[in-house]
Amino acid sequence: MSVGLCRRRRTVRSMQLLPEGFVLPPLPYLVGILLVSLVIVGVLYRRAQRITEQIVVGLAPWMGVGAGLYALEQARAIPAVVAPFASAPTVYLTTFAVVGTIVAVVGDRHPDRFAIDSTPGVVLITGTVVAVGVFAIAAVAAVRSPPVHVFWPGVAVAGATAIAGGGWLLFRSFLPTVIDETGRAGLLVIFGHALDGLSTAVGLAFLGFGEQTPLSQLLIDIGGVGLFVVVKVFLAVVIVGLLADYVREEPSEGNLLLAAIAAVGLGPGVHNVVLFTIVG
């Protein structure tokens, strides 16, 4: 639901559908990134790229990269010449263009296991290296504008980890086939949306941030941040449970859908955590 928070509270107009902060970059940037993305989609489609649980997990650091870049763009901590590539929603295409190129170059190498030369391994390793660089820049930006805020972001991360662990125990105890089919990709979905919900909650309740997404704001207005977190986590658990059969019958399509659902939770969650650390 949430795509991140804004620094100051704003009134959300009733007819507004898109989150605040969504802007289109200058035309040359937009045309360039769209063309590159379309070419990569065509290459991957023609190749019939297999999407496995391992590849979905390998994509997790790249989800953090896109989220971190967007937070740095909001904090004006990256050069202006590349800032348009890091604004929302362009940052999602930017991240896809990079990771999609990596997958296209690596090809379908041992997609079911992690190894240095396998597709999941290369995606995971490159994503981790880039993510460390992005988070290092965020840390420098935070140090340059003290105080550095780590407590509430840490609470959100710890809480999301606990919720994901609870979800795993729930499925393992009552619906073990869900874990068997969705595996770590399903847990990534639960963790991502728990992190989004909890980071949004602490940002609103303790750090003076405002919600950017009208639908999320409506839910918060109705039942507060507690209801927002519960609904986020509940929907994530239900979706993972419902997709188990689909993943078994259509593995690539099912895992691709899990990756997309994980991204719309983990991305905003990491964005919130990074933004809180820098300017919270």
pLDDT in tens, 147-193: 888 999 999 999 999 999 998 898 889 989 999 999 999 999 999 99
Distances (CA, A) of 73 to 78, 89, 147, 150, 271: 6, 12, 19, 20, 11
Per-residue pLDDT band for 71 (boundaries 50, 70, 90) equals very high
pLDDT at residue 3 tops 80: no
- Would you state the structure tokens that stand for residue 69, as one six-digit string? 């870049």
The torsion of the CA quartet 38, 41, 47, 50, rounded to 10 degrees, works out to 180
* Residue 22 confidence (pLDDT): 67
What CA–CA distance (Å, rounded) separates 16 from 178? 37
Per-residue pLDDT band for 212 (boundaries 50, 70, 90) equals confident
pLDDT at residue 91 tops 80: yes
Whether residue 130 contacts residue 61, with contact meaning beta carbons closer than 8 Å, is answered with yes
* Residue 11 confidence (pLDDT): 30
At 19, give phi and psi (nearest 5°). -65, 150
* Residue 202 confidence (pLDDT): 93
Across the chain, mean pLDDT equals 89
Specify the residue for token string 């290459």: 43
- Would you state the structure tokens that stand for residue 47, as one six-digit string? 């190749």
Compute the average pLDDT of residues 56-74: 96
- Would you state the structure tokens that stand for residue 203, as one six-digit string? 């940002």
Question: Is pLDDT larger for residue 11 or for residue 246?
Answer: 246
Least confident of 11-25, 144-158, 228-242, 247-261: 11-25
What CA–CA distance (Å, rounded) separates 279 from 262? 26
Per-residue pLDDT band for 107 (boundaries 50, 70, 90) equals confident
Per-residue pLDDT band for 213 (boundaries 50, 70, 90) equals confident
1 three-state secondary structure: coil
* Residue 139 confidence (pLDDT): 93
CA 160, 161, 166, 168 torsion-angle sign = positive
The pTM assigned to this predicted structure is: 0.89
